[in-house]
Homo-oligomer: A and B are copies of this chain.
Amino acid sequence: MNTKKFLLPESELPTHWYNVVADLPNRPLPPLNPQTKEPITPQELEAILPPELIKQELSTERYIEIPEPVREKYRIYRPSPLIRAFELEKALKTDCKIYYKYEGQSPSGSHKPNTAIAQAYFNKIAGTRKITTETGAGQWGTALSYACAQFDIECEVYMVRVSYDQKPYRKILMNTFGATVYPSPSERTQSGRNFLKQNPQTNGTLGMAISEAIEMAVQSEDTKYSLGSVLNHTLLHQTIIGQEALKQMDLAQDYPDVVIAPLGGGSNFAGLAFPFLRENLTQKKNTRFVAVEPASCPKLTQGKFMYDFGDTQGFTPLLPMYTLGHNFEPSAIHAGGLRYHGASVLCSQLLRDQLIEAKAVDQIECFEAGTLFAKTEGIIPAPESNHAIAQVLREVQNARLEGQSKTILFNLSGHGFVDMMAYSDYQNGKLSTHTLDPKTLETSLAEIQALQPPALV
């Protein structure tokens, strides 16, 4: 009887997060102050982040210890299982071995609590009373709502308006965990009022919601801001996924030839990939890493590597990243949390250095893959996760054409129980193939040309 689920006992929960910065052949360019175009200082981040997270954001240490109170909360749902996709393999009639790390058993149903819990804790010990944040599809807002409930912190969420209207279940989830949720752009902030003035009918974007959440945070001493992805420390916290997976691949007496994960801001991908990437960089392993993005929000495959803001209003430092421009508005596709205009600094640097690959997939291909996965493996994947599964099917097809077998590992970052309307749209033929208008992209990128520091222009 072959083992299907490789489980770690709680005693095997990793004690440290892994910081890939320590092992990069090329350090990323620094974040810049938008006014001076000089590298930002830790002090400049104090209005929005607590001290420990600022330290982590700028750290070059290889391993950072996970505090015991955070490990205690992790144990509510971790270690997460590594699962061999026997049923999917059978359906595909493939010799490839397919494994997935399943993050959907967490309180919010995705990998997001891995950083939400850490961020809530480091805020708590710094005396933060309230945290503001943004959320798109709602995965991140749900995770932070739960984490704040655990550490008795108030939580205020700005939710992209189109999601707020179309995904009532996500809002109720956040309310159940005790958070307050506002559709963004809102009338509560100056940024929100600006966005509404420019376009009263706007669907909202993650960039706009970030602006609102930051604006609220900087106004009060004991309120801080929290981001669910993109920043170094969010990627750092997610590496618990890959560190567990390394141990579990050992249990399976196997090792991945290719590691696949969706990429929105980068924390989903980084979480699984970075600990395996370290094995490439330091142990001469030869694994391929594939970040998968939606065809209609393709920063890695069609964006440019430039300095850009993380938000729409321009409150964040300038970050060196693959971007579509911070004013880019993706069309209303079912890509869950992957509708963000830029990729994290670390993932962008890795792509520049060709240490990872990027692929874009269309939403119909994603839901076709996700439906097959549900029928076989018995888990309804989140729309984000469907992007990884679609790429897995492509890898299997390539292996067949090349007459090879390979070991594939992917991040099943969450379940889709709260995203069933997207499956319904797929089943009813309401999804269309979205492509990116080159003119839109050109305009959007032209708008950020002026932000570049002299050295990059």
Q: Which of A's residues lie within 8 Å of B, judged by CB?
A: 1, 3-5, 7, 9-11, 72, 75-77, 87, 105-107, 109, 113, 146, 149-150, 168-169, 172-173, 175-178, 371, 374-375, 377-380, 415, 417-418, 420-421, 423-424, 427
Contacts and interface: CB of A to CB of B under 8 A. Distances in A.
A176 B371 contact: yes
Given A107-B379, A375-B178, A378-B106, A418 B421 contact: no
A169 B421 CA distance: 7
Given A76-B87, A87-B150, A169-B420, 12 more contacts: A3-B10, A107-B379, A146-B375, A169-B169, A169-B417, A172-B427, A173-B380, A175-B424, A176-B380, A178-B375, A415-B417, A417-B417
A4 B375 contact: no
Contacts of A427: 172, 175-176
Nearest to A419: B169
Enumerate the 3 nearest inter-chain pairs by beta-carbon distance, A residue then B residue, closest first. Answer: A107-B378, A417-B417, A169-B420
B76 A378 contact: yes
A11 B2 CA distance: 10
Contacts of A168: 420-421, 424
Given A107-B379, A109-B417, A424-B168, A374 B5 contact: no
Nearest to A68: B1
A12 to B, nearest CB: 11
B9 A172 contact: no
Contacts of A423: 172, 175-176
Contacts of A105: 105
B371 A76 contact: no
A175 B7 CA distance: 31
A296 B420 CA distance: 30
The listed residue with most B CB atoms (<10 A of its CB), out of A105, A168, A375, A380, is: A380
16 contacts: A1-B11, A1-B72, A3-B9, A3-B10, A5-B75, A7-B7, A76-B378, A77-B378, A107-B378, A109-B417, A150-B378, A168-B420, A169-B421, A173-B380, A173-B417, A176-B427
Contacts of A113: 378
A378 B107 CA distance: 4
A147 to B, nearest CB: 10
Contact of A4 (B10, B380, B415): B10
The listed residue with most B CB atoms (<10 A of its CB), out of A3, A107, A172, A415, is: A172
A5 B1 contact: no
Contacts of A5: 10, 75
Contacts of A371: 176
B1 A378 contact: no
Contacts of A418: 417-418, 420
A130 B378 CA distance: 20
Given A176-B380, A178-B375, A4 B420 contact: no
A83 to B, nearest CB: 9
Contacts of A107: 378-379
Contacts of A420: 168-169, 172-173, 176, 418
A370 B3 CA distance: 34
Contacts of A1: 10-11, 72
A419 to B, nearest CB: 9
A4 B173 contact: no
B377 A76 contact: yes
Nearest to A77: B378
A3 to B, nearest CB: 6
B378 A146 contact: yes
Contact of A76 (B3, B4, B9, B424): B4
A109 B379 CA distance: 9
A172 B175 CA distance: 24
Nearest to A5: B10
Nearest to A10: B3
A53 to B, nearest CB: 22
Nearest to A422: B172
A412 B46 CA distance: 43
